[in-house]
Structures are given as structure tokens and as C-alpha cells.
Structure 1
Amino acid sequence: MGVSTPSRRERLRAETAAEIKTVALGLMAEGGPDAITLRAIAREMGMTAGAIYGYYETRDTLVSALITDVYTSLVDRVEAARDAVPADDAAGRILAWGQTLREWALANPEGFRLIYGDPVPGYQAPEGGAAAEAAHRACAGLTGLVAAAWPQAVARQPGGYDWTDFDPILTGLVRAEFPGLPPAAVALALRVWGRMHGLVALEVYGHLRGQTRDAGRVYLDELRDLTRSLGLEGGPAAPA
């Protein structure tokens, strides 16, 4: 069977749904997470609030769609960068992931703030669904970087961690995808996440402005120091 071509009505509906999400991110950029309301979006688009409800039943439905899109955009980029590096080059893959994360965040600051900044007040994430699956991809990808580095990193890591030290959902995901990985590696993955995201968050929120003329170099040095701390040799990579 051939692929059916969307009707004009379907195309217009998809375009309007996409515009609603773009406007929502713009409102958040101007007024923070509180600014994402269906009434405000309707006002910006010259629509009635009732018309917006025809696309998204609730504000939370819209936020979930935004989170899904943002996570998918991010993970598609970082996974592609990681996969362009040989699988046996754990340091190179960490560098590629981290630098691509920074590039994506600077190009999509509203999206970065949505998934890694202040939570949207009152938002209740649904159990399962596309948004949770997209977030899971990001978590699994980062944990996979640590799993690849673990044979070299293990001797440098503190012990004493137990699975009960972590969120049960996170524990279940890690143990299902990386059955041989110990709890200490999960702690390491969280620390790696913190180091990768820390300088990026400072830059996205404008805190490095005026502090350095070359934030890309500072970030690359941080990534290289991170790989060395894992017992890996950080390969060359051009500043973002």
C-alpha cells in the first residue's frame, strides 16, 4: 500500500499545532514557565481559547508534547554525534556528546530551559507516554557513555552505593538496559551529567556573559578533565 498524502485540512491542523508549540516556547522565554497558558497562547495567535483546546485538551497535554519534541530533538543530535565516533573510543564519545549538547542548548535555549530549568508550575507528567520515553532515551544514552567508560573508571570511584540509594524508576531503567552495571556507576552517571550540564546551564542562563570571551574553550577543557578523571585519554576535538 502506498503512503497516503495528508489532506489540506490535515496539513493546516499540523501547522497550527506546531505554531502553538512555538508560541508556547516563546512565552516561556519571555515570562518563564508560568507564562505557558492556553489563554495566553490563544491571545498571541489571535484565536479563541476554545479553539486551542481543539488541539490540546489541557495545558499539561501541550507541555508534554513540548517536552517530547525537545527531548527528541536533543537526543537525535547527541546520539548522532556519539555514533559518528568509534564505539571503542569512550573518551571521544563523551566529548562528542558533551559538545553537541552545548551546541544544541545554545541554539535552543527555550527548549533547554523547559527540560532542565525550573519546572512548569502545576505540571503533572503523565505516566509513560512519548514524553517519558524521550526522557528515557536521554538517560539511557548518558548512562551508556558511563557504561563504556566503567572498566577504566571503576578503580577511581568510591564504593558503598546500593540500589536503594536511587529512585526506583531510574534503578529499573538502568538494570534493564545495563544489567551488569553496579550502583556506583549510576552515581557516576549522575556526576557526569552534572559536569556536562553545569557550564552549559550557566551559559544558557547568561551567567558566563562577561566572565569569559571563550566559553566554548572553557567547556571543552571541562570535558577533557572529565574524561581524564575517568581514566580515559581525551582525544582532540575542536571547540564548539
Structure 2
Amino acid sequence: MLRRRDRLRAETVRDIKAIALRHMADGGAAALSLRAIAREMGMTAGALYSYYDTRDDMVTALVTDVYTSVAQRLESVRAAVPADDPGGALLAVATAYREWAVTNPQEFQLLYGSPIPGYRFPAEGDASSAEQQACVVLLRLVETAWPALQARMSSPEAGMGMDADGYDWSDFTPPFAALARAAVPCLPPAAVALSLRIWGRLHGLLALEINGHLRPHVADPAKLYRAEVRELAAWLGFGDGPDAAGTAAVCAPSSARMAAMTGPGSSAR
């Protein structure tokens, strides 16, 4: 049980973060100011500095929280789908991703909106580890289905526009390549590239929606998003039910490996 002093400090930290997110929603990331937050909290700027030394420290804490939250949510829904149903896993992850984004637009903008002037995302530490968790979710989505996808990619009739042997590890940044090779060592570079293409298709419509660009044109953005997910599933060759038996066994995910990658303090960057 937390001591009263520790409990009060934790409550204050939560309040600071909530106000910071609201200020960013109202005025954009550039408007974030420790002094403005201190005024709203009813404390001096000096008192606030006892929680965060700099604005960047507070931003990093927010980014860590958000990455951790969304990664845990997506991994939870992905893991709940049978390993031989990659289409179901894609639908679950895509749906959960949109639900999170439209429910938490401030958090979405913090991760994927305009860069915060002067802020540099840390290459190591908790924030980097939390970002890696989000990357691993997509890698594992491809991992389960890769044997069937590889055969489909090699077929000219599939029309996927990707050569299963057309990528090597030099096509990725060294930190991301190291992350992918440690988290899912059975995946070749082409599969890692495919995970990024899937993310791009899921993310693109969401970014338009969250930033208000679809509003003048579409009455129901959710309908458009569902259609894109169905199109993506068809492009990948995912049926309505589980894939052929044995797909998961060829490239089985390792829970121990996932734990090692996403545990406290882990970093591959």
C-alpha cells in the first residue's frame, strides 16, 4: 500500500498530465507550458519543477503513458484471437486502434501530430521501450500469418506488389531492424516491411479523420474505415475464418520472447 505522501504525489502527477493533455488539445503542442500548468494547478512554477525538471521531461512521461496504453490495448485484443485466424486478428487490432484514436484524440495527436518544437524523443529509456511495444504488436500480427502470406506474395496472380525476397535488413534503420530481429526472429525483412505497410493503411484514414479532413466529405468515417480494413484483409488473402491449419506452428510466437522485449527497462534502440 502506498504511503499517504506517495499517494498524494501520484494523484498530483495524474492531474498535471491531464491538464497538459488538455492544454495541448486547446492550443497545440507548441502551447505546452509548465508555468501555465502550474497556474491552473494552483501551485508555483518551482513546486511543479519538483515533479518534472523540464517541459521535455513531462512530454516524455506523457508519451510513455500513451504508447504503453495503446500497445497494451492492441496486444490484448490481438492475443484474444486464435492464432490460426489472422483475418480476425487484423479486424480486432484495426477496430481497437480506431476506437482508441477517436476516443483519445489528444493522445493520438501527441504521438502522431505535428512535432513539438524543440522536443527530441529519447532514443533509450521507458519512452523508447513503450514505443517498441506498439511496433511489436504489428510484427506479431504478420508473424502468425507469414507462411501463407509468403506463398501468396510469390504468386503473380495475387497482385500484392511485393517481392518476398525484395527487402534486406539494410532497408530499415538499425534500431528498428534490431527490434524486429529480436522480437520476431523468424520474420524476414519482407515481412517486416509488410507490417509497416499495414500500419500505413490503417493509420492514414485515421489521421485524416482525427484532424478533421474527412468531415466535409464523409458522413460516417467508421464505414469508410471498415471498408478499408476489409480491402486490406482481401489484399492479404485473409478469409472470413481461420487460415489453413499449421500456419501458426511454422512461425509460432514466443510469449517468453515478447515478455523480454516489453519488460520494464528493455530497449533495442
2:80 to 81, 84, 93: 84
Residue of structure 1 in register with 2:104 after alignment: 108
Alignment of 1:166-177 (within 5 A): 166-177=172-183
Structure-2 separation of matches of 1:33 and 1:167: 27
| 1:118 aligned counterpart, secondary structure | coil
Residue of structure 2 in register with 1:147 after alignment: 143
2:7 to 8, 11, 16: 11
Cα contact 1:224–1:234 (8 A) shared by 2: no
Aligned-residue sequence identity (percent) comes to 55
Following superposition, the deviation at residue 234 of structure 1 comes to: 4.2
Cα contact 1:227–1:234 (8 A) shared by 2: no
Q: Indicate yes or no: 2:212 matched with 1:206.
A: yes
Residue of structure 2 in register with 1:165 after alignment: 171
Following superposition, the deviation at residue 149 of structure 1 comes to: 2.2
Following superposition, the deviation at residue 161 of structure 1 comes to: 1.4
Query: Which residue identity does 1:222 align to in structure 2?
Result: E
Residue of structure 1 in register with 2:118 after alignment: 122
Structure-2 separation of matches of 1:21 and 1:122: 19
Structure-2 separation of matches of 1:51 and 1:62: 14
Residue of structure 2 in register with 1:21 after alignment: 17
Residue of structure 1 in register with 2:265 after alignment: none
How far does the alpha carbon of each residue in 1:60-106 deviate from its partner, in whole angstroms, 9 at most, with x for none? 11111101111111112212211221111001001100100000111
Distance verdict in 2 for CA 1:234–1:50, change over 3 Å? farther
Residue of structure 2 in register with 1:137 after alignment: 133
Give the number of equivalent residue pairs: 231
Residue of structure 1 in register with 2:68 after alignment: 72
Structure-2 separation of matches of 1:44 and 1:20: 9
Cα contact 1:67–1:131 (8 A) shared by 2: yes
Q: Indicate yes or no: 2:46 matched with 1:40.
A: no
Residue of structure 2 in register with 1:238 after alignment: none
Alignment RMSD, CA only? 1.4
1:178 to 154, 167, 184: 184
| 1:80 aligned counterpart, secondary structure | helix
Cα contact 1:91–1:233 (8 A) shared by 2: yes
Alignment of 1:55-66 (within 5 A): 55-66=51-62
Structure-2 separation of matches of 1:146 and 1:85: 14
Residue of structure 1 in register with 2:195 after alignment: 189
Q: Which runs of 5+ in 1 are unaligned?
A: 236-240
Structure-2 separation of matches of 1:175 and 1:192: 18
Query: Which residue identity does 1:120 align to in structure 2?
Result: I
Query: Greater RCO between the two (CA within 8 Å, min separation 6)?
Result: 2
Q: Indicate yes or no: 2:220 matched with 1:224.
A: no
Q: TM-score, normalised by structure 1?
A: 0.91
Structure-1 separation of matches of 2:236 and 2:147: 9
Q: TM-score, normalised by structure 2?
A: 0.82
Q: Which runs of 5+ in 2 are unaligned?
A: 154-161, 242-269
How far does the alpha carbon of each residue in 1:29-81 deviate from its partner, in whole angstroms, 9 at most, with x for none? 11111112212211222221111110011111111110111111111221221
